[in-house]
A and B are shown apart, each in its own frame.
Chain A
Amino acid sequence: MTGDCQGYSPPPVIAYLDKAGAVLDSIPAELDDRDVLIGLYRAMVLTRTFDQKAVSLQRTGRLGTYASSLGQEAVSVGLGAAMQASDVLLPAFRDHGAMLWRGVTMVEILQYWSGDERGSDFKGPREDFPVAIPVASQTTHAVGVAMAFQLRGEARAAVCVLGDGATSKGDFYEAINACGVWKLPAVFVINNNQWAISEPVSMQTAAPTLAQKAVAAGIDGIRVDGNDVIAVRHVMERALEQARQGRPQVIEALTYRLGDHTTADDARRYRDDAEVSTRWQEEPVLRLRHYLVGRQWWAKTDEEALIREVRAQVDEAAEAYLALPPQPATDMFDYLYAALPPSLAGQRALLEDAHG
């Protein structure tokens, strides 16, 4: 094996459900609860339904380029569900499940991807960061946020999500290294969906795991089955507890990007259909449904009712989004500085005259 480290064994992949939803290991009692699991299931179904709607809005020219989270709902929902409301999320651009769980609205997410900055003015989680597009750039913000919590003696944590490609950037190492030095309350979740646009993980690193990158920062690295929402939520809760006690954590969540990188991408150019078909057998929504059905906690009628409900919710959000009045053109000046500098007044007036 390449990248073998002397004396280092990669951590095991924590999972409770196998690909078919059968129990692999005894599920922690507090999570093996009908209401808890149905809550996670509903959030994953909502995320997937929202994704489908967003893609169809893009395909019909009513949304800009969009990054779908198809297949990765368990990572996003699992980490979001484990966070406290007072924690701060620093998302990458595919974390709709966590954002929705934390109270960012579907309308706001659609607004953002349609090119309307008001979508990042979350009415819900006011301290959460907006989506970070430059890959890994949000990792260092998490250091500052976690340091703020540490300085104020608050039992809060910064949760930063990044992709597998982001682990190739220096920012990621700089951030986890600093968190190790200062024992900051931060959790970094690597959403390892196997593909950074067209490049597989094997092009990002010769290390056998991404979790082991934490070793060089002197902090804990954990691996979890990212298609098992129970495992993600459990691992994330433990990681947050550790982080709040000054032990920053890196979690590698193993999942798969079933869709294209974005609506501007065509993954068939670089990826075999056979590989994708295989991965559909492991996807997280069906996996949890199988478990719920097996426990007799979920029936066909429940599923039908849920689908009706989330579709109505998503359709309503889409209609509300489409009905939004455009932002005033002068908004591009009005939020640039706390007060408009006199030297920009002329430019603003020019725009106002043309498009006021």
Chain B
Amino acid sequence: MAEITLVEAVALAQARAMRDDPSVLALGEDVGKDGGVFRATDGLLAEFGPARVRDTPLAEGLIAGMAVGLAAQGFRPVAEIQFMGFVYPAVDQIVNHASRLRNRTRGRLTCPMVLRMPTGAGIKAPEHHSESMEAMFAHMPGLRVVIPSSPARAYGLLLAAIRDPDPVIFLEPTRLYRAVKEEVADNGEAAALDQCFTLRGGSDLTFVTWGAMTRETLAAAEALAGDGIEAEVIDVATLKPLDEASILESVARTGRCVIVHEAALTGGFGGEIAALIGEKALLSLAAPVRRVAGFDTVVPLPRMEDLYLPSVERILAVARETVRFQ
């Protein structure tokens, strides 16, 4: 088994899905010869040819809309948007068509498409390349919103997303694309969608997080362990539909919860999870649910993005207050 990066795992999963199922197509700007600006489609053109690996004109609305048309015709398009900051022209198609096609035709037409895109800050990219707008998609009925946090989960979750009969927004944490390597077996096994992953067990505090912030959160949990505090770390992985049971079960056990995400605080998906816990696990709580998030600011240009992103120190400070709360 080879150790590979997250972006290599994304390419590996697409190649596997395309080998297994001739209806799977890759499309987007620069996905062909260039193999994607991050190389997330590297090698696909050489193996599957230009009919199935399609460089598109520079038009995000077109990419999403044609994916809807292809999906309605029985193909399984995997469309790439180069950066999440450029997805907005495609949002019309996602909210008005992809997410609704099954419902509005009572299942006559369906939309088994995947819209992949890098998300998040931390790679010193230019303006508009660093957004984390997962809550926007998670708010849209009829979608799945998936975000992996490691190469192995990227492989398994992307395979699952491609095989899923409904549209999936697949968010790839840019900061993790090449941050770590992990052994990934190219065995064609999908990971479970709509299910959280427990990255670390613990009985004193529950961290709920996703995507790139799993790294800082795990580091914070390790630091807490040095103080004798055992924190559980839950990687949400599928934001929508949310695996409420796993989160509630953990919080019921630990009584304390800190939610960590890098998207702006207000209206972020952390608020949704906090509300869930408030509605369904209030009496288990020994402390208020807290959120550590990006600020309610525009993600700054690269010189200041490290100040924007929740740091291990910020997470630790809130976690310690939560643990100390009587």
Chain A residues in 8 Å Cβ range of B102 = 335-338
Q: In the complex, what distance in Å separates the CA atom of A151 from the CA atom of B97? A: 23
- B106: nearest residue on chain A (CB-CB)? A121
Count of CB-CB pairs between chains A and B under 8 Å: 140
Cβ contacts A155-178/B at 8 Å (1 or 0 each): 000100000000000110011011
Q: In the complex, what distance in Å separates the CA atom of A133 from the CA atom of B104? A: 12
Given contacts A120-B105, A148-B75, A344-B241, contact A338 B66 (CB under 8 A): no
Say which one of B53-61, B152-160, B181-189, B218-226 lies at the interface with A. B53-61
Evaluate contact between A121 and B72: CB separation under 8 angstroms.
Answer: no
Chain A residues in 8 Å Cβ range of B244 = 342-343
B74 at the interface (CB under 8 A from A): yes
Evaluate contact between A142 and B103: CB separation under 8 angstroms.
Answer: no
B278 at the interface (CB under 8 A from A): no
Question: Of residues B69, B89, B96, B241, which shows the largest number of chain A Cβ atoms within 10 Å of its Cβ?
Answer: B69
* A115 smallest CB distance to B (angstroms): 12
* A19 smallest CB distance to B (angstroms): 38
Number of residues of chain A lying within 8 A (CB) of chain B: 44
Number of residues of chain B lying within 8 A (CB) of chain A: 47
Given contacts A142-B69, A144-B71, A342-B241, contact A178 B62 (CB under 8 A): yes
Chain B residues in 8 Å Cβ range of A132 = 97
Evaluate contact between A151 and B75: CB separation under 8 angstroms.
Answer: yes
Chain A residues in 8 Å Cβ range of B243 = 342-343
A291 at the interface (CB under 8 A from B): no
A145 at the interface (CB under 8 A from B): yes
Cβ contacts A139-158/B at 8 Å (1 or 0 each): 11111111111010000001
Chain A residues in 8 Å Cβ range of B74 = 148
Chain B residues in 8 Å Cβ range of A127 = 72-73, 109
For chain A, residues 211 to 227, give those with C-beta under 8 angstroms from any C-beta of chain B.
Answer: none
Given contacts A175-B62, A336-B102, contact A145 B73 (CB under 8 A): yes
- B95: nearest residue on chain A (CB-CB)? A134
Please pick, from A117, A118, A181, A337, the residue contacting B57 in the complex, using a CB distance under 8 A: A181
Main secondary structure of the interface of A (DSSP, over half): helix
B324 at the interface (CB under 8 A from A): no
Given contacts A120-B108, A126-B108, A341-B241, contact A336 B67 (CB under 8 A): no
Evaluate contact between A130 and B57: CB separation under 8 angstroms.
Answer: no
Please pick, from A88, A117, A137, A181, the residue contacting B92 in the complex, using a CB distance under 8 A: A137
- A160: nearest residue on chain B (CB-CB)? B69
- A335: nearest residue on chain B (CB-CB)? B103
Evaluate contact between A338 and B108: CB separation under 8 angstroms.
Answer: no
Evaluate contact between B241 and A343: CB separation under 8 angstroms.
Answer: yes
Q: In the complex, what distance in Å separates the CA atom of A129 from the CA atom of B111? A: 12
- B99: nearest residue on chain A (CB-CB)? A336
A321 at the interface (CB under 8 A from B): no
Evaluate contact between B72 and A144: CB separation under 8 angstroms.
Answer: yes
Question: Of residues B25, B62, B70, B243, which shows the largest number of chain A Cβ atoms within 10 Å of its Cβ?
Answer: B62
Given contacts A144-B67, A335-B102, contact A171 B61 (CB under 8 A): yes
Q: In the complex, what distance in Å separates the CA atom of A344 from the CA atom of B62? A: 31
Evaluate contact between B77 and A336: CB separation under 8 angstroms.
Answer: no
Q: In the complex, what distance in Å separates the CA atom of A152 from the CA atom of B107? A: 23
Evaluate contact between A140 and B66: CB separation under 8 angstroms.
Answer: yes
Please pick, from A141, A331, A341, A343, the residue contacting B97 in the complex, using a CB distance under 8 A: A141
Q: In the complex, what distance in Å separates the CA atom of A137 from the CA atom of B241? A: 26
A122 at the interface (CB under 8 A from B): yes
For chain B, residues 103 to 162, give those with C-beta under 8 angstroms from any C-beta of chain A.
Answer: 103-110, 141-142
Evaluate contact between B61 and A121: CB separation under 8 angstroms.
Answer: no
B194 at the interface (CB under 8 A from A): yes
B212 at the interface (CB under 8 A from A): no
* B104 smallest CB distance to A (angstroms): 5
- A134: nearest residue on chain B (CB-CB)? B96
Evaluate contact between B68 and A140: CB separation under 8 angstroms.
Answer: yes
Evaluate contact between A145 and B104: CB separation under 8 angstroms.
Answer: no
Evaluate contact between A145 and B72: CB separation under 8 angstroms.
Answer: yes
* B24 smallest CB distance to A (angstroms): 12
Cβ contacts B64-92/A at 8 Å (1 or 0 each): 11111111111101000000000001001
20 sample A-B contacts, Cβ–Cβ < 8 Å, listed by A number: A117-B106, A129-B72, A130-B109, A134-B92, A139-B65, A140-B65, A141-B68, A143-B66, A143-B69, A148-B69, A148-B73, A148-B74, A149-B73, A151-B52, A170-B89, A174-B61, A178-B57, A178-B66, A336-B141, A343-B242
Give me the interface of B with A, judged by CB distance under 8 Å. 25, 51-52, 54, 56-57, 59, 61-62, 64-75, 77, 89, 92-93, 96-97, 102-110, 141-142, 164-166, 194, 241-245
| 9 residue pairs, one from A and one from B, having the closest CB atoms | A144-B69, A140-B65, A341-B241, A148-B73, A144-B66, A121-B106, A141-B69, A144-B70, A174-B62
A145-B73, A342-B245 known; 16 other A-B pairs, CB under 8 Å? Answer: A117-B106, A121-B107, A127-B72, A130-B109, A143-B66, A144-B72, A144-B73, A144-B77, A171-B65, A174-B57, A177-B57, A177-B59, A178-B66, A336-B142, A337-B142, A342-B243
